[in-house]
Amino acid sequence: MDPSKNWFLIVQNRFPSPYENMAIDEYLMMKAEENENTTYLRFYGWTPPAISIGRSQKANRVVNHELLKKSKIGFVRRPTGGKAVLHYEELTYSISSSDKRFISSPSVRAVYNQLAKALLKGLLNLKIEAEIVSKDPKGLVRTNLPCFSYPTRDEIEVRGKKIIGSAQKRSKSAILQHGSIPIKDHRDLYAELTSVDKEMLLSSMTTIEIETGENNWRKIAEAFIEGFKEEFNINYEKYEFSEKDKKEINNLIHKYSDNSWNFEL
């Protein structure tokens, strides 16, 4: 079986809720586990805008929930690790895969690096010169600071500023990696919601619009679709969710909308 022929592309022009987004990503990982050498590459947005936190984070330590409600910003815990991310006028990518080129990699970091090369090509298609971070910052990784406070090893930066933040989950037979690509500048709100000094985020992160002036979601998504195609030498088949898929996803939405999942840890 040629893995390059088993890549399915999902571009969601209707932006799902935070709960649905996480349900879909988990479901696609489950499908990848069931189907050898199969990859689902998905691009999506969020309605309403939301904060997502990592699987092991304590919700009340990393987000100002009173301000979250006042600002009408959603909230959800991801199935992956990582730190708090504001999903607001950005492009989110996710890749759920049992492709042997990822499963045979010895570590999470090795897969991060493989996928970072595709993301770099996407940025280059937007005329953004970026690079892969070579090492973790000292003393910051174990803090409650938000994801875009610092670029970590194998993530992507532009002149020292983080432009894509990713998180991963791995099983014996599949990986799920998803990540945020900020388009418009909401660093002030991001800082308020996560109770950090806004000057930190102003100096540590950037966005597609800041770098290029481009803010068309579809055009930006196409740049990354092409970047993955170039890096992995694959062709896509568009994937449409069946009624069975939708039923399974709806079942998972209950998990991600439950307070016991989002707040109790």
Which residues participate in catalysis according to the annotation? 147
**What is the Cα Rg of the chain in Å?**
17
Nearest to 151 by CA among 77, 198, 205, 191: 205
* Tokens found for residue 221: 């998504």
Whole-Å CA distances, 215 to 89, 139, 226: 9, 34, 18
Amino acid residing at 76: V
Residue from 58, 65, 83 nearest 136 by CA: 83
H or E, element range at 45: none
Q: Going along the chain, which residue ranges are E strands? A: 7-11, 39-44, 50-53, 74-77, 85-87, 90-97, 131-132, 156-158, 161-170, 175-182, 236-238
